[in-house]
Chains A and B, each alone.
Chain A
Amino acid sequence: MNTKEFQNPKLIKKIVDRLKRNKRQISLMEVCGSHTMAIGKWGIRDLLPDNIKLISGPGCPVCVTPMSIIDASIDLKDVTIAIFGDLMRVPGEKGTLELARAKGLDVRIVYSPIDALKLAQEKETVFVGIGFETTIPGIAYTIREAYEKNIKNYSVLTSLKIVPPALELLASADDINLNGFILPGHVSVVTGANAYNFLPEKYNIGGIVTGFEPADILVSVDRLLQQVEKNEPKIENEYSRIVTPDGNKHAQKIMKEILEIDDGIWRGIGKIPKSELKIRKKYSDYDAAKKYNINIEYKEDKSGCQCGDVLKGNIIPPQCHLFEKVCTPSNPIGPCMVSSEGSCAAYYKYERKQ
């Protein structure tokens, strides 16, 4: 599919010209790592006038995965540990899985949860299943497959976060003044755009589901600006070429079948009520936390890393005293610098001022 038209420089200029006519101070938050990357890659912040601020929120699943998950994985013995590649260099208190692998731990990177399930044919396998709504259905699928095919040596150590409760936390926070949300594109494929209707209804704040091309993002900023000017907060869907109002029912069904809502621990943020999906009792044989008696708890980051403040939009990455000085993509101190979709990594790659 050709998306070049969403990159048309003449269109971009006309949108930016319109945005520059506005003098209102406005802060918008994106909550999707791919948007964070796209905003950096297309130089969107440099195109916008100073009165329009784009803030990155907790949009990177790797960044919010609790340290306990990393540490518990490192402690597992005599099993294959399957992970998504992004997790490899994320530090816990006990170091990284990359270092643990160098010391002999059997850590394998997989592209798909199905690949993790296949590894269980060879050896007892624990899949470190992390992700938002985009990734969760595929992980749930492997649990159902293992259950139905009676595959006993597969389990999942879960950190499965759902986005709307995090938005609720941010929308209700007294210390964060947001005028609107740029809502995630691919999470919304599963949830549907209607999943965010509570934002205008309960918190008087609007949002727009949007794509990843420069025109997508700039048009969304303009529409949110119009919402603020008219004081008509609502949920809009600019990404209707992929996102529907109600989302993917098949994906939602398997999530509900295998998983249930619980409180969740978000790295750098703490406990967010009803923000995590855990494996239902029926499938508890496939829950690595139960199988290996793992307790997931919140741990304060003692490295001085301020990822938590970055994730909540309290600071931008260059305001962290570690950024660029000691924390770089080749020597990441915190998770936001590890994942390519982390705010700090995106800032480092695209927005450092020389």
Chain B
Amino acid sequence: MCLAIPSKIVSINGKKGIVDMGGIKKEVGLDFIPEAKIGNWILLHTGFGLEIISEKDALETIEAINEAYHVMPDEY
């Protein structure tokens, strides 16, 4: 039930935003992430944005994992 879905903000009006969920537009509450900007990927749960997803952290995490397990960039 705690499943949260990554969604991209396409517009903002006050504390409400519109996200694009795979082509479906939905109004969401941005009360818990007031710093969110258009274009941000956010984690969405029951109609509320809970966090802004850091693409940079995602890339750093996978790079660190690949390095730890000696996976070369071309091994895909």
Contact call B6/A134, Cβ cutoff below 8 A: no
Partner of A242, one of B47, B51, B66: B51
Of the listed residues B1, B50, B57, B60, the one surrounded by the most CB atoms of chain A closer than 10 A to its CB is: B1
* A18 to B69 CA separation, bound complex (whole angstroms): 9
Chain B residue with Cβ nearest A223: B68
Chain A residues near B3 (CB-CB < 8 A):
33-34, 186, 341
Whether a CB of chain B sits under 8 angstroms from the CB of A11 is yes
CB of B69 within 8 A of CB of A14, answer yes
The distance from the CB of B68 to the nearest CB of chain A, in whole angstroms, is 8
Tell whether, in the assembled complex, residue B76 and residue A240 are in contact, meaning their CB atoms are under 8 Å apart: no
Q: Is there an interface contact between A242 and B54, defined as CB atoms closer than 8 Å?
A: yes
Residue of A nearest to B76 (CB): A8
List residues of chain A with CB within 8 A of the CB of B62. 5-6, 215
Residue of B nearest to A131 (CB): B1
A92 interface residue per 8 A CB criterion:
no
Inter-chain contact count A-B, CB under 8 Å?
124
Category for how many chain A residues contact B: 35 or more
Kindly report which residue of chain B lies nearest to residue A243, judged by CB atoms: B51
B2 touches A34 (CB 8 A): yes
Check if B61 sits within 8 Å of A238, measured CB to CB.
Answer: yes
Residues on A with C-beta less than 8 A from B38 are none
* Residue of B whose beta carbon sits closest to that of A115: B47
B18-73 contacts to A, CB under 8 A, are 29, 31-34, 41, 43, 45-48, 50-51, 53-55, 57-58, 60-62, 65-66, 68-71
Cross-chain contact B58 with A241 (CB below 8 angstroms): yes
The residue in chain B whose Cβ has the minimal distance to the Cβ of A62 is B1
| Inter-chain contacts of B60 with A (CB < 8 A) | 240
Give chain A's interface secondary structure class. helix
Q: Report, as a range, how many residues of chain B touch the other chain.
A: 20 to 34
Distance to closest chain B CB from A108 (angstroms): 15
List residues of chain B with CB within 8 A of the CB of A132: 1-2
Residues in B with CB closer than 8 Å to A341 are 1, 3
Cα A240 to Cα B69 with chains together (Å): 19
Residue A102 CB within 8 A of the other chain: no
Q: How far is the CA of A33 from the CA of B3 in the complex (A)?
A: 8
* Contact (A219, B65) CB under 8 Å given A34-B3, A112-B46, A132-B2: yes
Q: Is A86 an interface residue (CB 8 A)?
A: yes
A138 close to B (CB within 8 Å): yes
A46-61 at interface with B (beta carbon < 8 Å): 60-61
Measured CB to CB, the closest approach of chain A to B29, in angstroms, equals 7
CB distance from B49 to the nearest CB of A (A): 10
- What separation, in Å, do the CA atoms of A219 and B43 have in the docked complex? 22
Pairwise interchain contact B71-A11, C-beta atoms closer than 8 A: yes
Q: Fill in one digit per residue for A101-141: 1 if any B CB lies within 8 Å of its CB, else 0.
A: 00000000001111100000000000000111011011001
Kindly name the residue among A84, A130, A134, A187 whose own CB sees the greatest number of chain B CB atoms within 10 A. A134
Whole-angstrom CA separation of A248 from B49 in the bound complex? 11
| Beta-carbon contact of B45 and A138 below 8 Å | yes
Give CA–CA (A195, B27) in the complex, Å. Answer: 31
A3 is an interface residue with CB less than 8 A from chain B: yes
Contacts of A134 in B (CB 8 A): 1-2, 4, 45, 50
CB-based contact A11/B65 at 8 Å: yes
Cβ contact within 8 Å between A114 and B47 = yes
Find out whether the CB atom of B54 lies under 8 angstroms from the CB atom of A241: yes
**The 7 A-B residue pairs with the shortest CB-CB distance in the complex, in nearest-first order:** A112-B47, A241-B58, A134-B2, A241-B57, A14-B69, A250-B32, A251-B32
Beyond A186-B43, A248-B50, 15 additional contacts (C-beta under 8 Å) are A8-B76, A11-B65, A33-B3, A60-B1, A61-B1, A111-B46, A113-B46, A141-B48, A215-B62, A219-B68, A240-B57, A241-B61, A242-B51, A243-B51, A248-B32
